[in-house]
Chains A and B, each alone.
Chain A
Amino acid sequence: METLDLSFLVPLFPLLGFAALVVAGRKLGDPLAGWLATAAVGVSFVTSVGMFFALLQLHGEDRHFTVELFDWVVVGGLDVSASLLIDPLSITMALFVTGVGTLIHLYSIGYMHGDERFSKFFLYLNLFTFSMLVLVLADNFLLAFLGWEGVGACSYFLISFWFTRESAAAAGKKAFVTNRIGDFGFMIGMFLLFSAVGSLTYAEAFEGIERVSAYTASAIVLLFFVGAAGKSAQLPLFVWLPDAMEGPTPVSALIHAATMVTAGVYLLCRIAPILDAADPAALTVIAAVGALTALFAATVACAQDDIKKVLAYSTVSQLGYMVLAVGSGAYVAAIFHMVTHAFFKALLFLGSGSVIHGMHDEQDMKRMGALRKWMPITWATFMIGWLAISGVPPFAGFWSKDEVLLGAWLDNKLLWGVGILTALLTAYYMSRQVFLVFYGAERWRSPAEAGVADKPELTDPEPVAEAAAHADASGSHGDGHSGADPHGSPWVMTVPLVILAGLAMVAGVLNLPFTKGTMYLEHWLEPSFGEALHPHSVPGSEKLVLALIATAAALVGIALAYATWFRRQPSRNSGLEPGVLKRAWGLDALYGAAVNGPGRLVSNWLAFVFDRRVIDGAVNGVGGLVRGGGGQLRRVQTGYVRSYALGVAGGVVLLLLVVVGRVIS
């Protein structure tokens, strides 16, 4: 038990790193500040591993440990303490947050090298890691909400890290505002839960929810789902995530692929007992939204030219898978996919960062090509990420996606079909990306070859700050090529790639579906979900057929991409990339029009009519009334003694009348 009492150290180290960087970040500078931040998260990871083993020594049912730190909010019936909940689920999250976080910190040392605000970047990264750990380790909704808002704020800081660029600043604002909508869902859900159950602690809430009607529970679940949809970029609140790619690539990898965006899925898994108490229709809503998001984002990803935009929409799509799994009641599958996705998507993002870095800040895939010769390590690791996300056995993504699809199959055959279609599209757009970037002709040599010379620039140019930063890096890694040729990346960038590639390859062993004995993750997470986890027994043959269908879908997707994109000179605006998909089905424009049209009208009315006339009117009216009344009353003060005397005399007469009247009656 004493070991687990030390679990407060897990979030403490990144906090200390943050504090140290606040005080001495500038002095430490480049690259020492980066190493300090990396060490802080690394030590936190080691501590998490220690906690994991400490937890492993307990028996299954006892793996539930609360560490009370201090009383936090005690107001009336509300009594919230800052406590950490150490159980298999939270430790799993802490492990992969700190593990992937450490690798991405390490990578950032290379990627951000030479940036003016190098130490500030790591300061934010450490603060983010701390907030994320608070979010996953909290034992009550309020503390989790603190972390929830903390990661949101860090996300905002980091998306608009290069705030001198208009688009980055706008993307940060968009992410913040969109997340705010979700946050309101979280808050109202929290209020409703408190009024229904009277406690915000997970354990007490789960106990109390059994006494609450299914309708109330459904309302709570759906409100929390609004919060999750905001954070995890589900329809209709996904619009901020593709724009969030304006941030530095390590940020996209850490926050907008591996960790923060999974917070919504984590929250839904955390409140699995409440989901269990809710009406099944609520779960169907969640599953349907997840499946639709997965399909929607996958179609959009097929038509993007920006290497990071493809991955961004792919992230939205994969998050849709996780939400689908949650809605189907397959919580373990959701967490499993979350972990494997963290590995392969972080790998893909870091790989794309390496490509962008090597291509001197080029993000347009149509200006790339044949990069496998120039950056072999990036190529090899990217290939593994590609196979993993496409769902090719035996890579990690196959196993986890298979679990998700199995969960969907058992819950709703239609949604399973959507999932399979999405799997096909996933394989297609990822293969398209790989072929465009790493194969084909060396299109960066002459833009005209790619048929892009006469077309307008589709991707935003990278910021001057980054270009300057990388000009330095490219100088030192030029290794004999001419300036325009791509170059490999330094070891701090390739080592994380290799480690993540290894994980993306083998992470499937966490939960192999052959026998009960090999489903380690399910067995491990079982105590966290308790009765919410409905055991299913599917015959092995059925599982095998489902897996074969999924694999076939993946292979068909890859084959389609091979037929259409391999060796072919890509052109812009071909039939393969309908404009409607490029524009994300016009949803962004629709939101823009809604906000700009009716939204602006309403806001203008509120600002210039309601606020000015009614709110200001009331305030100014009270002032005017007092002023006017005073203006009239001041005439009473004539300054003539006789009029005062008359007043006194009149008053006496009045008093006399009253007294006499009383005496008489």
Chain B
Amino acid sequence: MSIAPEWYLALAAGLFTMGAIGLLIRRNVLVMFMCVELMLNAVNLTFVTFARTLDDINGQVAVFFVLVVAAAEVVVGLGIIVAIFRRRADATADDLHLLKG
């Protein structure tokens, strides 16, 4: 038997919310980064769900695009984070506010 798509959607919504809240309240750059990944994957889950429900392959294609973009983003993001930690040991996101107006 198959699980009803509502469950998947509820799970995706839950994951997304966790990611969003995590991004907003955490200060650790790495954790915030993981939260972004969490949100991306929550969206991926909705895409797949709807692709199955609506029997439309485009949803799964979109997921691949998201994965590719996420991979590229990880490379750039981790590169930035490594560069930051090279200069200072205990940087939180709030310490990095050089662009303050």
A639 interface hit (Cβ, 8 Å):
yes
Q: Is the beta-carbon distance between B23 and A642 smaller than 8 angstroms?
A: yes
**Contact partners of B100 in chain A: CB under 8 A:** 637-639
Q: Can you add 7 more A-B contacts, CB < 8 Å, to A633-B101, A640-B97, A641-B96?
A: A636-B101, A637-B101, A642-B23, A645-B20, A645-B24, A646-B24, A649-B20
A641 to B25, CA, bound (A): 10
Chain B: minimal CB distance from A634 (Å) = 4
Considering only CB atoms, which chain A residue lies closest to B26 in the complex? A642
B98 interface hit (Cβ, 8 Å):
yes
A220 to B91, CA, bound (A): 83
Q: A: which residues have CB within 8 A of B?
A: 633-642, 645-646, 649
B24 in complex: contacting residue of A637, A639, A642, CB < 8 Å: A642
* Total A-B residue contacts, Cβ distance less than 8 Å: 33
**Contact partners of A641 in chain B: CB under 8 A:** 32, 93, 96
Considering only CB atoms, which chain B residue lies closest to A635 in the complex? B101
Chain A: minimal CB distance from B97 (Å) = 3
**A642-B25, A642-B93 as given contacts; A637 in contact with B20, CB under 8 Å:** no
B94 interface hit (Cβ, 8 Å):
yes
B99 interface hit (Cβ, 8 Å):
yes
Chain B 60-101 against A: per-residue CB contact (8 Å), 1 yes, 0 no? 000000000000000000000000000000000110111111
Considering only CB atoms, which chain B residue lies closest to A652 in the complex? B20
A-B contact pairs, 11 of them (CB 8 A): A633-B101, A636-B101, A637-B101, A638-B101, A639-B98, A639-B101, A640-B94, A642-B23, A642-B25, A645-B24, A649-B20
Q: Is the beta-carbon distance between A645 and B23 smaller than 8 angstroms?
A: yes
Considering only CB atoms, which chain A residue lies closest to B100 in the complex? A639
A633 to B97, CA, bound (A): 17
A645 to B100, CA, bound (A): 15
**Contact partners of A649 in chain B: CB under 8 A:** 20, 24
**Contact partners of B32 in chain A: CB under 8 A:** 641
Considering only CB atoms, which chain A residue lies closest to B36 in the complex? A645
A27 to B89, CA, bound (A): 82
Considering only CB atoms, which chain A residue lies closest to B29 in the complex? A641
Q: Is the beta-carbon distance between B99 and A637 smaller than 8 angstroms?
A: yes
**Contact partners of A634 in chain B: CB under 8 A:** 101
B99 in complex: contacting residue of A633, A639, A645, CB < 8 Å: A639
Identify the interface centre among A635, A637, A639: most chain B CB within 10 Å of its CB: A639
A639 in complex: contacting residue of B20, B23, B25, B97, CB < 8 Å: B97
**Contact partners of B96 in chain A: CB under 8 A:** 639, 641
Chain A: minimal CB distance from B82 (Å) = 17
A607 to B25, CA, bound (A): 59
Q: Is the beta-carbon distance between B97 and A638 smaller than 8 angstroms?
A: yes
Chain B: minimal CB distance from A369 (Å) = 88
**Contact partners of A645 in chain B: CB under 8 A:** 20, 23-24
A637 to B93, CA, bound (A): 15
Considering only CB atoms, which chain B residue lies closest to A636 in the complex? B101
**Contact partners of B98 in chain A: CB under 8 A:** 639
**Contact partners of B94 in chain A: CB under 8 A:** 640, 642
Considering only CB atoms, which chain A residue lies closest to B94 in the complex? A640
